[in-house]
Amino acid sequence: MARLPGRPTARATQPAQDARPRRAPGSPHAADPTGRVRREGPGASLRPRRTPREYLAAVRAAVSDRSVAAQVFLLQVFVVLLLVVAAVVALVLQVRHDSTDEARNRSVAVAEAFANAPGTRAALSSPDPTAILQPRAEAARKATGVDFIVVMNTHGIRYTHPKTDRIGKKFVGNIAPALAGHTSTEAVDGTIGRLVQAVVPVESDSGKVVGLVSAGITTESVGGTADRQLPLVLFAAAVALALATGGTALVSRRLLRQTHGLGPHEMTRMYEHHDAVLHAVREGVIIVSGEGRLLLANDEAHRLLDLPADAEGRHALDLGLAADTAELLASGRVATDEVHLVKDRLLAVNQRSTDVRGGPPGTVATVRDSTELRALSGRAEAARERLDMLYDAGVGIGTSLDVARTAQELADLAVPRFADFVTVDLFTSVLGGGTPEAVTPLRRTALSGVRPDAPLYPADRQIRYIDSAPQARSLRTGKVVLEADLATAPGWQEQDPERGARVLEYGIHSLITVPLRTGALILGVVSFYRCDRPGPFDDDEVALAEELVARAAVSIDNARRYTREHSMAVTLQRSLLPRRLPEQSALDIAYRYLPAQAGVGGDWFDVLPLSGARVALVVGDVVGHGLHAAATMGRLRTAVHNFSALDLPPEELLVLLDELVSRIDQDEEAEDGTAPVTGATCVYAVYDPASRICSIARAGHPPPAVIGPDGTVEFPEVPAGPPLGLGGLPFETAELELPEGSRLVLYTDGLVEDRERDIDEGLELLRESLAGAGTSPEETCRAVLEARLPGRQSDDVALIVARTRALAADRIAQWDVPSDPASVGEVRAAVTRRLTAWGLDELTFTTELVLSELVTNAIRYGADPIRVRVLFDRTLICEVYDSSSTSPHLRYAAMTDEGGRGLFLVSQLAERWGTRYTPEGKVIWAEQQLP
């Protein structure tokens, strides 16, 4: 390290408090490193023994007081000693290991030799194996140098042993492997020391183990080599230590001369200041002498000014700098934030003189790169833009509960602010609201780009990624994958080589794949492609992509969960609605049912054939949304089915529904005592094609609309009863005579009412759309929904359009019947003639029997007037009317009963039969299938 001219030496500037007391020769006292005085000479008092901590502190203080050269010397000596000790320990361990291996090999060899020796096998089967084997074992032991040879039976009882008192006792060791026919060795600590013993099986000619032989030898017997070699090793170590110490001493003396004897504190302080000035400062520092020569330039100055390596000592004008910059440094004038162009950098230079307070002549200049400040400002701007993007993601992604739309919002947000092309691939089950499964394929749900002609997989395409594709790796590991250069990414190109080549030719060169992950579920993968921007994606952009996708994943998962619940509710609701319309001739019907996108409601409808060729239409709406509303709707629809079988007038049927809704509220009373108000509205209409009379009653429901044959639209006055569930209030029925070809329109409030308009405005708009509709019910439904349905309805919509038909007069036959049993025959004759005119001769016999029984019962048990009506529709319908309200009952007559079989006979001959009540009496009817 060069010392600056005129700079005082470090030793001359040594602070006074760093001076250490020196002991003069012959001084009776000496100062130890801790500052305590130690008395020397005869009669000196003995100091107490120091603790280990005090010794450590003393050594540390002694080392710290040494010069740098002395510290290096001590370190070298310590390293040499450490290596020597490690070598000696390694040698001793190796010798011990070799001794163990030698003991194992020798014991195995001796045991196997003795076990396979001639006569050993025969001696084991002799009456006294010890007498034969003991002399042989001892002779072999002495010849081989092992410590013992023990022969034993398969139970471990010794036949031989060097100590005869142990013969007949059980062998100490593991003989299980030898009994299985294997040779085993083990190291044990015996009474004679650490030894290795081997156990070898003695097998018969058939391979059966008939005895065992064990031989053992102590490791000390074979380990004498280590003791003989250890003095030589120690002598070599001492020679190496002496040589290393001598070399280290020479190096230490050289270091001592080069450091000028500086102490560790002085060296540390000097190098700390040096590092602070030359390395820690992010500004270039240049010191120029009074003659204009460069004395010092830190690393930053070298980098900014591109100075040569040998710049120190050269004149400022000879450094190859620009003329204005070199002139400034050589002139010594004061400069403040003076901007100079050095190659492609704009440098701000500040220069001050060094002799202001009596220092040496010269100047010191600082150089700051304003170009990098601008780059830093640009990075701050980029960070702000990324924060804006994340904010926009929180606001703009997830505006709907639609999975595909949410995915498209993510793709549109990232293009072109973050990437040039973005694709979102979701598992197929996610689109339907299900749980993602790795075995199912992916579907390209969203695609967005700066241009529409990119050769990427199109939207709505099913994709199966191979294992080496970046998207597959993201799905498998759940982590982000960055392909900085797609041209060198073989796994990506193997997915579709032809398409991959076109993608690269198009200019797409960098890719980030991020898994759409929420908790433990991975919904799909998002791919960000870069095309127009030349550089690849960097780590900061990877972090931004991960954060962006994480926020979008929450919205997509919410949409998935909603889709699942919505699909379940829609499935339940559709299962509770009619699958197909029943066959009937009174009305030509078209219908529409559209569930709400924001939540399934309780709208429902039904078409119910009644007796007498009549048809009932019902449309209802349950308050609320979700599964509860759909389930309640199913209960009401079932109830209407049951009540309609009783042929009740509309107002009476609504009364029964009102009681049912009240009971539902009571049954679902919450634990806190408050009952959830179910509430429902309903309109019930019964159309009779014979009279063209339509009876309508409604409970809090929007009024029906009637389109005349001439296209005029009106909302007839139908009394508006209270909604179902309030109880206690009556319902009223309105009767409308509808010309043939009229269209009756029943609907729910979702068609005419929403948050932006009230029901009156909605009814007027509905009138306009009905007036411009076609003549058929199907055209009417289509026109109404196209004109009135909002782009995203918030409520269910149920719509029924029924065009009326009239039963022709020549298909209706009616007779008044006197209250005389003799008139029954006349009725049968008249009906027979009419059936012949209709071409229904095959039904004559059964019809005569049915009418005979019904008319006879009316004459016998009913009251005047009595009428008979026969209708020729899809079935042959026979009706007998009387003014009595007494209903007949079917019963099974006993064998001895003279009567009671009439209605039973009717029930057997007719397809259906029943009773309906009118304000004046009752009608008993029976239907027969046409031949």
In this prediction, residues 797-820 reach a mean pLDDT of 91
In this prediction, residues 375-402 reach a mean pLDDT of 77
Site of tokens 């005029």: 712
Q: How far apart (Å, rounded) are the C-alpha atoms in residues 890 and 879?
A: 17
- pLDDT band of 62, cuts 50, 70, 90: low
Q: What are phi and psi of 145, to 5 degrees?
A: 85, 10
CA–CA distance from 56 to each of 123, 264, 310, 847 (Å)? Answer: 70, 19, 47, 126
Q: Taking the alpha carbons of 63, 69, 75, 76 in that order, is the dihedral positive or negative?
A: negative
In this prediction, residues 140-151 reach a mean pLDDT of 85
Q: Are 678 and 668 in contact (CB under 8 A)?
A: yes
- In this predicted structure, which of 182-196, 533-547, 735-749, 830-844 has the lowest mean pLDDT? 182-196
CA–CA distance from 549 to each of 413, 474, 518, 717, 918 (Å)? Answer: 11, 13, 10, 58, 69
Q: How far apart (Å, rounded) are the C-alpha atoms in residues 712 and 745?
A: 13
Q: How far apart (Å, rounded) are the C-alpha atoms in residues 818 and 336?
A: 130
Cβ neighbors of 844 (< 8 A, separation 6 or more) are 831, 832, 835, 836
Q: Is 688 helix (H, G, I), strand (E, B) or coil?
A: strand
CA angle 783, 785, 789 (to 5 degrees): 140
Residue pLDDT, tens place only, 302-345: 888 888 888 888 888 888 888 888 888 888 888 888 888 887 77
Give the range with max mean pLDDT: 51-60, 357-366, 446-455: 446-455
Side-chain half-sphere exposure of 562, counting CA atoms within 13 A: 18
390 vs 733: which has the higher pLDDT? 733
- In this predicted structure, which of 233-242, 466-475, 618-627, 698-707 has the lowest mean pLDDT? 233-242
- pLDDT band of 793, cuts 50, 70, 90: low
Q: How far apart (Å, rounded) are the C-alpha atoms in residues 591 and 605?
A: 9
Q: How far apart (Å, rounded) are the C-alpha atoms in residues 759 and 784?
A: 16
Q: Are 917 and 886 in contact (CB under 8 A)?
A: no
Residue 389 has pLDDT above 50, yes or no: yes
To the nearest 10°, the Cα dihedral for 685, 688, 694, 699? -20
160 vs 31: which has the higher pLDDT? 160
436 vs 256: which has the higher pLDDT? 436
Burial class (CB in 10 A: 0-12, 13-18, 19+), 864: middle
- DSSP letter at 280 equals I
Task: Write 467-472 long-range contacts (CB < 8 A, 24+).
Answer: 468/492, 468/494, 468/495, 469/494, 469/495, 470/511, 470/513, 470/527, 471/425, 471/442, 471/513, 471/525, 471/527
Q: Are 457 and 465 in contact (CB under 8 A)?
A: no
pLDDT for res 63:
52
Cβ neighbors of 208 (< 8 A, separation 6 or more) are none
- pLDDT band of 891, cuts 50, 70, 90: low
Q: How far apart (Å, rounded) are the C-alpha atoms in residues 317 and 324?
A: 10
Residue pLDDT, tens place only, 480-491: 999 999 988 878
Cβ neighbors of 573 (< 8 A, separation 6 or more) are 595, 600, 602, 604, 630, 633
Other Cβ atoms closer than 10 A to 652: 15
In this prediction, residues 570-599 reach a mean pLDDT of 80
Query: In one letter, which amino acid is 737?
Result: E
- What average pLDDT does the chain have? 81
Percentage of the chain surpassing pLDDT 90? 24
Type and span of the H or E element at 488: none
Q: Are 424 and 392 in contact (CB under 8 A)?
A: no
Cβ neighbors of 471 (< 8 A, separation 6 or more) are 425, 442, 465, 481, 513, 525, 527
Q: How far apart (Å, rounded) are the C-alpha atoms in residues 498 and 662?
A: 68
